[in-house]
A and B are shown apart, each in its own frame.
Chain A
Amino acid sequence: MTTETLASLIHFLGILLLISSFWILTSSQIRTSIRAYAAHSFFLALITGVIAIANHIEHLLISAILTFGLKAIVIPHVFFRMIRRLGIRKEVESYVNIPFTLLLAVLLVFVSFYVTRDGSFLKPVAFGECIPLAIATVFFGMLMMTTRKKAISQILGLLLIENGLFLMAVTMTFGMPLLVEMGIFFDLLVAVMIMGVFIFKIRDAFESIDTDEMTGLKG
């Protein structure tokens, strides 16, 4: 593969990644959001895999496979089981309506590209155009965590932030050392499980999983 075709492949995958993160943010149903997250993770794994193969970095290939297995299959599966057991039928509830969310998201993408326009400060080892994408993903995750009412959407936001940071690490330094990467995957899986347990506790105590009911503690 020549450098040019490689660059355009990464470019193409990057666009798909961005589209899927918009999809997570704007879908009105929690099921669709989870599917979009799976797609996002899938493209993330593809980008990682392509970079790993192109640069012959074995440990990065392992993290690409792990990303695919854990974030594109296992975690979405856990989520689907969770919402089945919770019996969520209602749509995504947000403090901000979807058109306005979209507007904010577009704005955040512009901000991400603007803050990274000066390439001399950060010289990533892999494809520099992924850096603003990574930052945008982190921003999207934060937007999701702050504007959504459902506890489950907040977990999704956290996972989105994690995906963004992962992309950041991949493009800047070909990922973290394998030992660290493994630890992060383990942490992530445990975090999703523990938060899952808490969602059921919240449902039982508050009779809904809307976090805007949580106003008991102040001062």
Chain B
Amino acid sequence: MTIEKVLGTPLVFAFLCLIPCSKRMTRVIFTAGAILAALGAWSFVFGVSGSPRVFAFGGNLMMDSLSAVFVLLITGVGVLSSAYAGGYLFRDGETAIPSVKLRRYAFFFHLFLFTMLLTVFSNNLGIMWIAIEGTTLASAFLVNTDDKKSSIEAAWKYLIICSVGISLAFFGVILAYYSAVARTAVGESGLLLNWTFLLENARQLDPKIIQLAFIFVLVGYGTKAGLAPFHSWLPDAHSQAPAPVSALLSGVLLSCAVLGILRFHILTTAATGSNFSGTLLVVFGVFSVMIAAPFILEQKDYKRMLAYSSVEHMGLAAVGLGFGSAIGIYGALLHIVNHAFTKSLLFFTTGHILYLFQTKEISQVKGIFRRSPFLGAIFFAATLAIAGMPPFNIFVSEFLILSAGFQAKKFVACGILLVLLSLVFIGFLKHSNQMTFGESEKVPVKPKSLVMNGVLLVGMVLILMMGFYIPGPLQHLLQEASRVAAGGASL
């Protein structure tokens, strides 16, 4: 496998999905594409884990262990999401979606996967920007799958707010390029925007310009990553999108934007030799958790509750990266992985809940457990996991991030976080307890498709396992990735 092939698979399947054929056939192509993309990507990632960097496309694309982690995430959540969407959107009966629309949906789904993979494979910071803007464009139609008033509103806000945010990030990219043009004598202009080149020549770059660039990138990609106060599109888009799309948005799209910030953070740390960017990350991270906590406590819509929880977790990841020590960075990367799987599982369960109760209001959903013990158990366990309860995976990474903070003597930040995290915990417990165990009459339920229940089961097993044991190759990859992320500091 090569980078080109890994990138090519979802692109080819995007167009294959457009072939007019029966609904069943489209569904097969759609899901098979995601599975093939994942198999290819995983064999590629674990095949080359020995060599630190693999380049392609004249050095514009690159995979190091940091991008490898994100490739695993994108394709992993992609498979789960496409399998779930196969049951959720390709349903029959009265509410069936016309097949023309489904084909378009499948097309944009694969295109979305492609743009996200391109984002994490970009070595050229300009291409990374193009790819991130591409993710917005590809996913806008996915957010608005049902053409309802509220979905159109959410998709429009998503398009506009993210495009403006991203244009600010472009200013940062221009500044980074400028710092390279101004200080280096290399004539090859195509090379100057490459992250690897900038990192190797970080000492020659003007630290002031790079700091300015980082601020713009933090605001720009921070909008996309859902960091407060630029998160206003996020709860709308996540709550209006269909469940499998919300899972992708929250699980991996936000993480891709965090990777964009991380690349600039590494660069800034190397160029300035100070913890300027790290401090900013901690400040914005803590602020995000602070904004998210009250909204989770007082939320009336369960999908919005999960969306605000994404703001919270992206904030936590930013804090971990900002603390900068080996434990902090490792914890933050692990947190991104854990969050991706836990949150996508939760969004899948909302697909089931919406089907059972026909409402997104928390107060209208009572007694999931009585109606469907399987769904109730998984939903309740997953909310405990996302709230940071041991023995689930999120607890482990939150613990690592906080201990990195205490080690770095950031007592104020850690203290605030501890208070806020317990607030979030209370909020989740309050809502999910009522939703799962509240009083309700027993209504006979038509069981959901086997595949969709299977997706929930796989997700549950994954998050339980990650709490006790991280598989060897993944553990190795995460350690390598944290070494790359800490590379800036050691130069």
Contacts and interface: CB of A to CB of B under 8 A. Distances in A.
A168 B301 CA distance: 43
B119 to A, nearest CB: 12
A183 B127 contact: yes
Interface in B128-183: 129-130, 133-134, 137, 140-141, 144, 147-150, 152-157, 159-160, 163-164, 167, 170-171, 173-174, 177-178, 181-182
Contacts of A172: 174, 178, 181
A87 interface: no
Contact of A180 (B127, B160, B236, B295): B127
Interface in B268-305: 295, 299-301, 304
Contacts of B240: 217
Given A154-B160, A169-B174, A183 B167 contact: no
B190 interface: yes
Contact of B167 (A124, A125, A154, A161): A161
A169 B167 CA distance: 12
Given A169-B174, A177-B193, A194 B140 contact: yes
Contacts of A187: 130, 133-134, 137
Interface residues of A, number: 41
Given A177-B190, A179-B124, A191-B133, A219 B300 contact: yes
Contact of B124 (A180, A184, A211): A180
B479 interface: no
Interface stretch (A25-33, A37-45, A74-82, A201-209): A201-209
Interface residues on B, range: 35 or more
Contacts of A202: 152, 156
B189 interface: yes
Interface in A47-95: none
Interface string B321-360: 0000000000000000000000000000000000000000
A124 B178 CA distance: 8
A106 B468 CA distance: 61
Q: DSSP class of A's interface residues: helix, strand, loop or mixed?
A: helix
Contacts of A158: 160, 163-164, 167
Contact of A123 (B154, B163, B182): B182
Contacts of B141: 194
Interface string B175-209: 00110011000000110110000000000000011
A194 B178 CA distance: 31
A162 B157 CA distance: 18
A17 interface: no
A173 B189 CA distance: 10
B239 interface: yes
B60 interface: yes
Given A180-B126, A187-B133, A198 B178 contact: no
Interface in A183-219: 183-184, 186-187, 190-191, 194-195, 198, 201-202, 205-206, 211, 214, 216-217, 219
Nearest to B180: A173
B174 A165 contact: yes
A176 B171 CA distance: 12
A198 to B, nearest CB: 6
A119 B154 CA distance: 42
A119 B304 CA distance: 47
B127 A198 contact: no
A122 B178 contact: yes
A142 B168 CA distance: 11
Interface in B205-231: 208-209
Contacts of B60: 179
A103 B481 CA distance: 51
Contacts of B129: 180, 184
A46 interface: no
A205 B137 contact: no
A121 interface: yes
Interface of B: 60, 124, 126-127, 129-130, 133-134, 137, 140-141, 144, 147-150, 152-157, 159-160, 163-164, 167, 170-171, 173-174, 177-178, 181-182, 189-190, 192-193, 208-209, 235-236, 239-240, 295, 299-301, 304
Given A173-B174, A216-B149, 6 more contacts: A165-B174, A176-B126, A183-B127, A184-B129, A214-B156, A219-B300
27 contacts: A121-B208, A122-B178, A122-B209, A123-B182, A158-B163, A165-B170, A169-B174, A179-B126, A179-B190, A180-B193, A183-B127, A184-B126, A187-B130, A187-B133, A198-B152, A198-B159, A205-B147, A205-B148, A205-B149, A205-B152, A206-B152, A214-B153, A214-B156, A216-B149, A216-B150, A217-B235, A219-B300
